[in-house]
Amino acid sequence: MTHEYTAPVPDVRVTEVPEPGAVTIVVPTYNESANIRQLLHQITESVPARLPCEVLFVDDSTDDTPEVIHEAAKDCPFPVTVLHRDEPVGGLGGAVVEGMKAAGSDWVVVMDGDCQHPPSLVPELVATGERANAGLVVASRYIKGGSRAGLAGSYRVAVSRAATWLTKSLFPRRLHGISDPMSGFFAIRRSDITADVLKPLGYKILLELAVRSRPRAVTEVPFVFQDRYAGESKSSAQEGLRFLRHLVGLRTASPVARMVGFGLIGATGFVPNLLGLYALTVLGMHYVPAEILANQLGVAWNFLLIEHLLFRDRRRHRRWWDRAGRFALIANADLVLRIPLIALFVHRFGMGALSATALALVTTFVLRFAGTEALVYLPRRNRSRTA
């Protein structure tokens, strides 16, 4: 559930704007009450005289941030709206998508609520987009004139560098021309927003936009990342894990990529399988029942990784015990099917044992992937009843 409030607009004359269009500034907030007045003050000083604007806060806070926004908005010469979410679905990225859907201007500028993104750059982002006829303008720390000076400590700098390198390595085509895919400061034309295809997870919404619905043309503007005005960074190990899961989800969005990921996860399942087999045989169990039991360890390992990395957004279609049972049946059917296939390839088609085994492995792998996707993670078909 969301609650919306729009502050009254004082009777303040706005000067004529050299750049066409107006802008909605979307600010996702989570417990940023100490930064709100300073942020609105900076926006008031630098934006409305050059560009008509409105500010939309999408708030997931558990503190008094909404109340502080309402009070501070009374002194602003532009509309200020608060959209408070009782359920913060998708984290900060989900908040940004909600803000984009609610925006009413030709341009939407997304920026953080901690004053590390300078509002004075907002008119330049929009003007650059108009001049270049671009759909997306990224404020970059990594082009000439930009700086990541506001990143606190060498650890955060190293993490930022590694994350940037990883994302650009995984998506070289989609991120071509974007030097700072981890930036949270950018402008996008409302006509280029395809909110329905976005599946935000965590706080890197620019990456989500660029990969799933990249606008027709992208350009960049340098900016200096500022020090946080007040409070502490929301970055954490948990957010880092969400980011990695998000990367995997984006990278495995296509069926071919999911199949590759499925195979890599399956390969890692040999480790718990072999460890279990070794432990059971050392304890004196015969190797045949030991192999059957040890195989279940590999099945459980693969199921957990596939659940959290490949099909995280499809888990709602079935209960977890239903998914686990179906997955285990398919995985164990692979063992039962493989031996008859090998025999068929050897005796019917005259293949050697090694090549027959390799072909059987490939065949059962493709069948296992298709069966897992179709029988475990695709939604049930709605069966209409005839009278």
Which of 53, 186, 19, 28 has its CA nearest to residue 109? 186
- pLDDT-based confidence at 21, cuts 50/70/90? very low
* Mean pLDDT computed over 246-252: 69
Same-domain check for residues 344 and 198: no
Query: Cα–Cα distance between 221 and 75 in angstroms, integer?
Result: 30
* Mean pLDDT computed over 267-280: 82
Same-domain check for residues 8 and 58: yes
Say which residue, 308 or 114, is predicted with more confidence: 114
Within-domain flag for 317? yes
Instruction: Specify the 3-state DSSP secondary structure of 34.
Output: helix
Q: CA 236, 242, 244: angle at the middle one, nearest 5?
A: 105
* Mean pLDDT computed over 351-363: 78
Same-domain check for residues 113 and 151: yes
Place of tokens 């059971």: 280
Residue 51: domain span:
2-231
Domain boundary among 170, 196, 231: 231
Say which residue, 16 or 86, is predicted with more confidence: 86
- CATH number, domain containing residue 81: 3.90.550.10
Say which residue, 262 or 135, is predicted with more confidence: 135
Within-domain flag for 137? yes
Which of 169, 175, 260 has its CA nearest to residue 211? 175
Same-domain check for residues 222 and 264: no
Least confident of 99-113, 159-173, 229-243: 229-243
pLDDT of 5: 52
Say whether pLDDT at 147 is over 60: yes
* Mean pLDDT computed over 268-284: 83
Within-domain flag for 246? no
Burial class (CB in 10 A: 0-12, 13-18, 19+), 117: buried
Say whether pLDDT at 96 is over 90: no
Same-domain check for residues 222 and 266: no
Say whether pLDDT at 6 is over 70: no
Say which residue, 12 or 370, is predicted with more confidence: 370
- pLDDT-based confidence at 11, cuts 50/70/90? very low
Within-domain flag for 239? no
Same-domain check for residues 212 and 358: no
Within-domain flag for 161? yes
Same-domain check for residues 60 and 107: yes
Within-domain flag for 154? yes
Say whether pLDDT at 73 is over 50: yes
Using CA atoms, how far residue 30 sits from 13, 116, 243, in Å, is: 32, 15, 18
Same-domain check for residues 170 and 263: no
Q: Which residues contact 271 (CB under 8 A, 6 or more apart)?
A: 301
Same-domain check for residues 159 and 122: yes
Same-domain check for residues 36 and 103: yes
Within-domain flag for 385? no
Within-domain flag for 90? yes
**What does the mean pLDDT of the chain come to?**
80
Say which residue, 10 or 141, is predicted with more confidence: 141
Say which residue, 61 or 16, is predicted with more confidence: 61
Read off the pLDDT of residues 174-199 as tens digits, 9 standing for 90 and up: 888 888 888 889 999 988 877 666 77
Please report, rounded to a whole number, the percentage of residues in the chain having pLDDT higher than 90: 20
Say which residue, 152 or 63, is predicted with more confidence: 63
pLDDT of 16: 39
pLDDT of 128: 93
- pLDDT-based confidence at 145, cuts 50/70/90? confident
* Mean pLDDT computed over 348-366: 79
Domain boundary among 199, 231, 263: 231
Domain boundary among 194, 216, 231: 231
State how many domains the chain has: 2
Same-domain check for residues 32 and 159: yes
Same-domain check for residues 186 and 307: no
Query: Cα–Cα distance between 49 and 47 in angstroms, integer?
Result: 6
